[in-house]
Homo-oligomer: A and B are copies of this chain.
Amino acid sequence: KGSDGKYTVTLIPGDGIGPEISESVKAIYSAANVPISWEEVSVTPILKGGKTVIPDVAIQSVRKNTVALKGPLATPSQYPDIRLTRAQTDNGDAVGKGHISLNLTLRRTFNLFANVRPCASIKGFKTPYDDVNTVLIRENTEGEYSGIEHEVVDGVVQSIKLITWEASERVARYAFHHAQASGRKRVTAVHKANIMKMSDGMFLSACRQVAKDFPGITYDEDLLDRVCLQITQNPLPYADRVMVMPNLYGDILSDMCAGLIGGLGLTPSGNIGRDASIFEAVHGSAPDIAGKGLANPTALLLSSLMMLRHMNLNDYASKIEKAALTTIAEGKTITGDLGGKSSTKEYTAAIIEKLGKA
């Protein structure tokens, strides 16, 4: 908290529609008098020793402020970073092009161990489902994202899924704390321990051990494929719980759940670490509509509200949330992707107007 009574927060507007949706959040925050001053930094990647890295000034800012809000960062191209294996090249060069996603780099740099992805149906926004209300907590540092891969012999590649007791225990503990703090009565560990008996098995063991410290919370386990099967048939039994899982499963299940409520334009996320936390909209940078004033800032706004709650600024969060959800529920002044005809600015103004009335 600075001498002006405000908290400094790093703002990474990001690429494509990032700057527009960031402007929207800033405008709403001014109108709501949220005691935050934004320290805006760019994360345009720089090339260092053949690798794309995040500029130091961005890293320093997040480290200093310990809280950041982040728009979408484009990965250099869709997935150009398929590494060629020996079997595919003549010269035996197995290194390939190798752009690492900047989103992942940020998660790694700050050891953001828990990725929190709430997913709740938004009233008034029509999808086949209106009773989704779950919180996914994804281990965010290892698993299938270890980055360890090698070609054993020509045409035989191994990727390592790395599971450690330490990271499993840490994310499990975070999940139980989160459930406790948010009044959710059940934590479900999602896994494929029927197949990956040792790795997912250890993940489950860690969850089981942590569960003992939370006697007030029901703990259970469910197979990833079963959850996918059942939540699409009926999301209700999955409401009001927290689901915790290894990295890749969280990637998949969170996108699936986002699909059930209407897409990534509506889902917030937070990457929680011990020394810093980054709240981000996980949708893409939407280059096709960038700069046209049509972007939907909701995911970034909802992510910022997770951030406010993380900072114990709950009242501001609730007030803004109410204004945004009411605006969507009324359905008059919403952006195109939500089925409306309004510009980012008009939608933002509508939310601000609601704030004034509150």
CB within 8 Å of B: which residues of A?
A: 75, 79, 81-85, 87-88, 94, 96, 98, 101, 104, 127-129, 144-145, 149-151, 154-166, 192-202, 204-205, 221, 223-226, 228-233, 248, 251-256, 258-260, 262-264
CA distance A202 to B84 in the complex (A): 7
Partner pick for A85 among B82, B96, B202, CB 8 A cutoff: B202
Partner pick for A194 among B79, B87, B165, CB 8 A cutoff: B79
- Distance between A149 CB and nearest chain B CB, rounded to angstroms: 4
CA distance A263 to B226 in the complex (A): 10
Which 4 A-B pairs give the minimum distances between C-beta atoms? A232-B259, A128-B128, A155-B165, A82-B201
Per DSSP, are chain A's interface residues mostly helix, strand or loop, or mixed? mixed
On whether the beta carbons of B258 and A229 are closer than 8 Å, the reply is yes
Contacts of A228 in B (CB 8 A): 252-253, 255-256, 259
- Distance between A344 CB and nearest chain B CB, rounded to angstroms: 21
On whether the beta carbons of A157 and B199 are closer than 8 Å, the reply is yes
CA distance A101 to B248 in the complex (A): 23
Copies in the complex: 2
Contacts of A264 in B (CB 8 A): 229
CA distance A133 to B293 in the complex (A): 36
On whether the beta carbons of A198 and B83 are closer than 8 Å, the reply is yes
Partner pick for A193 among B79, B150, B158, CB 8 A cutoff: B79
Contacts of A193 in B (CB 8 A): 79, 81-82
Please, could you name 18 A-B residue pairs with CB atoms under 8 Å apart, sorted by A? A79-B194, A79-B221, A81-B193, A82-B200, A83-B197, A88-B202, A88-B205, A94-B198, A96-B201, A128-B128, A145-B195, A149-B196, A151-B198, A156-B164, A160-B161, A192-B251, A228-B256, A233-B263
Q: Most B CB atoms within 10 A — which of A79, A197, A233, A248?
A: A197
CA distance A158 to B160 in the complex (A): 6
On whether the beta carbons of B162 and A161 are closer than 8 Å, the reply is no
**Given A85-B202, A158-B161, A201-B85: A255 and B196 within 8 A (CB)?**
no
Contacts of A198 in B (CB 8 A): 82-83, 85, 94, 149-151, 157, 159
Q: Which residue of B lies closest to A247 (CB)?
A: B195
**Given A85-B201, A194-B81: A252 and B224 within 8 A (CB)?**
yes
CA distance A259 to B233 in the complex (A): 5
On whether the beta carbons of B252 and A204 are closer than 8 Å, the reply is no
Partner pick for A199 among B79, B149, B254, CB 8 A cutoff: B149
